[in-house]
Amino acid sequence: MDAKTKQSLVLLLCLCLHLKTHVCLAADTIAANRSLSGDQTIVSAGKVFELGFFKPGNSSNYYIGMWYSKQLVSLETIVWVANRETPVSDRFSSVLRISDGNLVLFNESNTPIWSTNLTSTTTSGSAQAVLLDNGNLVLRANGSNASTSEPLWQSFDHPAHTWLPGARIGFNTVTNQTLILTSWKSSEDPAPGLFTLELDPNGSNAYLIFWNRSRQYWSSGAWDEKSRIFSWVPEMRLNYIYNFSYVTNKNESYFTYSLYNPKTISRFVMHTSGQIQQLTWLEISSQWNLFWNQPRKQCEVYDLCGAFGSCNEVSPVSCNCLTGFEPKLQRDWNLQAYSGGCKRKTPLHCENATSADGKQDQFLKMATMSSPANEQSVKVETFAGCESICLNNCSCTAYAYNSSGCSIWIGELFNLQQLTSSDSQGITLYLRLAASEFKSPKSNKGLIVGVVAGSAAGIAILLGLIVVVILRQRKRVTGMGKAVEGSLVAFGYRDLQDATKNFSEKLGGGGFGSVFKGTLPDSSVIAVKKLESVSQGEKQFRTEVSTIGTIQHVNLVRLRGFCSEGTKRMLVYDYMPNGSLDSQLFHDMRPNVLDWKTRYQIALGTARGLAYLHEKCRDCIIHCDIKPENILLDTELGPKVADFGLAKLVGREFSSVLTTMRGTSQISTAETDVLSLLDPRLDGNADVQELTRICRVACWCVQDDEAHRPSMGQVVQILEGVSDVNLPPIPRSLHVLGDDQEHIIFFTESSSSQSSHQRSNNNSTKSTTSSTISKRYEEEHPINT
Ligand SMILES: *[C@@H]1O[C@H](CO)[C@@H](O)[C@H](O)[C@H]1NC(C)=O
Ligand SMILES: *[C@@H]1O[C@H](CO)[C@@H](O)[C@H](O)[C@H]1NC(C)=O
Ligand SMILES: *[C@@H]1O[C@H](CO)[C@@H](O)[C@H](O)[C@H]1NC(C)=O
Ligand SMILES: *[C@@H]1O[C@H](CO)[C@@H](O)[C@H](O)[C@H]1NC(C)=O
Ligand SMILES: *[C@@H]1O[C@H](CO)[C@@H](O)[C@H](O)[C@H]1NC(C)=O
Ligand SMILES: *[C@@H]1O[C@H](CO)[C@@H](O)[C@H](O)[C@H]1NC(C)=O
Ligand SMILES: *[C@@H]1O[C@H](CO)[C@@H](O)[C@H](O)[C@H]1NC(C)=O
Ligand SMILES: *[C@@H]1O[C@H](CO)[C@@H](O)[C@H](O)[C@H]1NC(C)=O
Ligand SMILES: *[C@@H]1O[C@H](CO)[C@@H](O)[C@H](O)[C@H]1NC(C)=O
Ligand SMILES: *[C@@H]1O[C@H](CO)[C@@H](O)[C@H](O)[C@H]1NC(C)=O
Ligand SMILES: *[C@@H]1O[C@H](CO)[C@@H](O)[C@H](O)[C@H]1NC(C)=O
Ligand SMILES: *[C@@H]1O[C@H](CO)[C@@H](O)[C@H](O)[C@H]1NC(C)=O
Residue 54 pLDDT > 80: yes
Compute the CA torsion angle 742, 743, 744, 745 (nearest 10 deg): -130
How far, in Å, is the centroid of ligand 3 from the Cα of 189? 15
Cα separation, 613 vs 759, whole angstroms: 9
- The pairing of strands 309-311 and 319-321 is antiparallel
pLDDT digits (tens, 9 = 90+) for 594-613: 889 889 999 999 998 888 88
Q: Is 126 in the pocket of ligand 1 (CB under 6 A)?
A: yes
pLDDT of residue 333: 92
Sequence-distant (≥ 6) Cβ neighbours of residue 522 within 8 angstroms: none
Contact, 53 vs 64, CB < 8 A?
yes
Q: Give the ligand whose atoms come closest to the C-alpha of residue 128.
A: 1
Structure letter (DSSP) for residue 737: E
Ligand 7 atom nearest the C-alpha of 175 is 13
Using CA atoms, how far apart are residues 38 and 96, in angstroms rounded to an integer?
10
Average pLDDT of every residue of the chain:
77
Question: Which residue, 696, 648, 646, is CA-closest to 671?
Answer: 696
| pLDDT tens digits along 113-154 | 999 998 866 656 688 999 999 999 999 987 788 788 889 999
In this structure, the strands spanning 309-311 and 181-186 are unpaired
Spatial CB neighbours of 45, under 8 Å, sequence gap ≥ 6: 28, 132, 133
Q: For residues 217 and 509, which has the higher predicted lDDT (pLDDT)?
A: 217
Q: How far is the CA of 98 from the centre of ligand 6 (A)?
A: 24
Compute the distance between CA of residue 166 and CA of residue 168 in angstroms, rounded to an integer. 7
Q: How far apart are CA 577 and CA 18, in angstroms?
A: 70
From first CA to last CA, the distance across the chain in angstroms is 70
Q: What pTM does this model have?
A: 0.64
Q: What is the dihedral of CA 120, 124, 128, 134, to 10 degrees?
A: -70
How confident is the model at residue 6, as a pLDDT?
42
pLDDT at 474: 35
Residue nearest to atom 10 of ligand 11 (CA): 251
- 3-state percent helix, strand, coil for the chain, nearest multiple of 5: 25, 30, 45
Lowest mean pLDDT among 22-26, 215-219, 514-518: 22-26
Single out the residue of 675, 682, 678 nearest to residue 595, CA to CA: 682
| Ligand 11 atom closest to Cα of residue 249 | 13
Does the Cβ of 147 fall within 6 Å of ligand 6? yes
Confidence grade of residue 457 (pLDDT, cut at 50, 70, 90): very low
pLDDT tens digits, residue range 715-772? Answer: 888 888 776 545 554 444 433 322 223 333 333 222 233 322 233 333 322 222 222 2
Residues with CB under 6 Å of ligand 8 are 200, 202, 208, 216
**Minimal CA–CA distance to 318: which of 295, 291, 292, 345?**
295
* pLDDT > 80? residue 534: no
How much is the pLDDT for 195?
96
pLDDT at 702: 66
Q: What are phi and psi of 245, to 5 degrees?
A: -140, 145
Q: Is 524 in the pocket of ligand 12 (CB under 6 A)?
A: no
Instruction: Give per-residue pLDDT as tens, 248-286.
Output: 999 999 999 999 888 889 999 999 999 999 998 888 778
Conformation bin of residue 361: beta by default, left when phi > 0, alpha when psi is -120 to 50 = beta
3-state secondary structure of 217: strand
Question: How far apart are alpha carbons 69 and 485 in whole angstroms?
Answer: 58
Hey, whose CA ends up nearest to atom 9 of ligand 8?
202
Q: What is the pLDDT of residue 119?
A: 83
Residue ranges with strand state E in 328-403 = 342-344, 362-369, 376-378, 396-402
Q: What are phi and psi of 275, to 5 degrees?
A: -110, 145
One-letter amino acid for residue 402 of the chain:
N
| pLDDT tens sequence across 152-199 | 999 999 999 999 999 999 999 888 899 999 999 999 999 999 999 999
CA distance linking residue 338 with residue 307, whole number of Å? 9
Report which secondary-structure segment, H or E, holds 493: helix 493-499
Among 243, 254, 259, 264, say which to mutate for ligand 10: greatest number of ligand atoms within 8 Å of CB: 243
Q: pLDDT by residue (tens digit) across 619-648? A: 666 666 677 888 899 888 889 998 877 766
Count the neighbouring beta carbons within 10 Å of the beta carbon of residue 264.
16
How many percent of the chain have pLDDT more than 70? 74
Q: Which run of H or of E encompasses 430?
A: strand 427-433
Q: Whose CA is nearest to atom 10 of ligand 7?
A: 176
Closest among 212, 186, 209, 207 to 254, alpha carbons compared: 207
> Is residue 329 over pLDDT 90?
yes
pLDDT digits (tens, 9 = 90+) for 72-108: 999 999 999 999 999 999 999 999 999 988 999 999 9
In this structure, which amino acid lies at residue 471? L
Using the CB atoms, write b or e for 108-132: b if 16+ within 10 Å.
eeeeebbbbebeeeebeeebbbbbb
* 365 carries a ligand binding annotation: no
**Tens of pLDDT along 190-224?**
999 999 999 998 888 888 999 999 999 999 999 98
Q: Which domains does the chain have, with CATH numbers?
A: 18-156 (2.90.10.10), 159-295 (2.90.10), 309-437 (no CATH), 482-574 (3.30.200.20), 593-780 (1.10.510.10)
Per-residue model confidence (pLDDT) at position 45: 95
Check if 39 is active-site. no
CB environment 383-407: b (16+ within 10 A), e (fewer): eeebbebbbeeeebbbbbbeeeebb
pLDDT tops 80 at residue 316: no
| Cα dihedral: 247, 252, 253, 255 (round 10) | -60
Is 577 a pocket residue for ligand 3 (Cβ < 6 Å)?
no
pLDDT digits over 671-729, tens only?
Answer: 457 777 777 778 888 888 888 788 777 777 766 666 677 788 888 888 887 765 455 54
Tell whether omega for the bond before 639 is within 30 degrees of 0, i.e. cis: no
Determine the residue type at 722.
V
- State mean pLDDT over 563-585: 85
Distance of alpha carbon 461 from alpha carbon 414, whole angstroms = 49
Considering only residues 454 and 567, tell me which one the structure prediction assigns the higher pLDDT.
567
Q: Which of 57, 121, 54, 110 is nearest to 83 (CA)?
A: 54
Contact between residue 696 and residue 781 where contact means Cβ atoms under 8 Å apart: no
